[in-house]
Amino acid sequence: MKRTEVTRFRCYVAERTFESTSVGSSLSNTGDVRLGRKQRSSSSLYSRPSLLEIKNDKITNRAKVYEFLRGIGIVPDELDGLELPVTAEVMRERVDFLHKLGLTIEDINNYPLVLGCSVKKNMIPVLDYLGKLGVRKSTFTEFLRRYPQVLHASVVVDLDPVVKYLQGMDIKPNDIPRVLERYPEVLGFKLEGTMSTSVAYLVGIGLARRELGGVLTRYPEILGMRVGRVIKPFVEYLESLGIPRLAVARLIEKRPHILGFELEEQVKPNVGSLLEFNVRQSALPSVVAQYPEIIGIELKEKLLGQQCVLHSVIDLGPEDFGRVVEKMPQVVSLSRTPIVKHVDFLKDYGFSLQQVRAMVVGCPQFACFES
């Protein structure tokens, strides 16, 4: 009797255990199925590329852009790190636009960073602004060859403040376009940098404030000249020749381009040549004041050539040649033909060679008077 009850109890326990295991297994399987569905569903609805895939795509696209550029003769070596169009088609659009502006492949290779400028966001707004100012479209090509960096500029942040500064320097609105055409690099200068210091120095040595606008209109390159390196040494050298500072300021007012003469390569060697050809040291201030260009031209050959001409025509000696240059330094730029013509004219009127020579030494203008 007891054995039968024990057997039944074991069967009952085993049966319950089986049912419990079956139910747990069933629930586990069901959960796994549902979870699997959720995972598959989630994966199919949203899939994000890895950072490695994005990087590889960029490398591939950039390689295609570089391949296009090399194919048309542009060297892309300097473009590494610069943000470029994603596709070669967009890059082609930029190159075509630059071609329409007159820029060649050589021009682009001279400044390849221009390819980082968007046609719509950079180039068109800048060119429209320049056009509205009055810069002629016919000058755009040369403008961009000289200063392609302008295409990177912001009209509001970079360009407009410079234009307003120029207007504040008494450059007339109608002259602003000509100033920009002559010296486009001015658009890249900082207002509180070279521009303001060069102007302040010139006014400080005596250049009349009312003349400033005209001076900068005729020679805007002054705005890019460093005071310590260019303007001040030039002024001080002319002073050392005996020209008073205020007289130097007046020379700059009348002929501002003389500031562009290279001090070491042109001015000092030319002064040396004048002394070599018997112009007296004391006469140098007068010579420069009469003909400022004499310190910036290729002078030595002109002096030698003119000395030979006057010697052959009127038997003029070296010392007398120095006196002629002192009284009329422009003589160095005269051609042989008018000199011979005027000397012959005086001879035809009965003047002897000695008399003609004395007249030329006393008043060199006789050598170039209209007959």
Q: What is the pLDDT of residues 4-22, one digit of tens each?
A: 444 444 444 444 444 444 4
Q: Please give the mean pLDDT across all residues of the chain.
A: 87
pLDDT at 55: 67
Under 8 Å between Cβ of 258 and 297: no
Q: What is the pTM of this model?
A: 0.78
Annotated domain spans of the chain: 262-371
What average pLDDT does range 266-286 have in this prediction? 97
Helix axes 245-254, 232-240, angle to 10 degrees: 120
Domain 262-371 has what CATH class? Answer: mainly alpha
pLDDT at 369: 57
What average pLDDT does range 258-285 have in this prediction? 97
DSSP code per residue over 142-211: HHHHH-GGGGG--IIIIIHHHHHHHHHTT--TTTHHHHHHH-GGGGGS-IIIIIHHHHHHHHHTT--GGG
Q: Is the dihedral of CA 316, 320, 322, 327 positive or negative?
A: negative
**In this model, does residue 29 exceed pLDDT 90?**
no
What average pLDDT does range 218-229 have in this prediction? 96
Nearest to 159 by CA among 146, 150, 172, 169: 150
pLDDT at 54: 62
Residues in the chain: 371
Q: Which two tokens stand for residue 142?
A: 């040369």
pLDDT at 336: 87
pLDDT at 53: 63
pLDDT tens sequence across 90-114: 999 999 999 999 999 999 999 999 9
pLDDT-derived band at 319 (thresholds 50, 70, 90) equals very high
pLDDT at 335: 87
pLDDT tens sequence across 184-217: 999 999 888 888 999 999 999 999 999 999 999 9
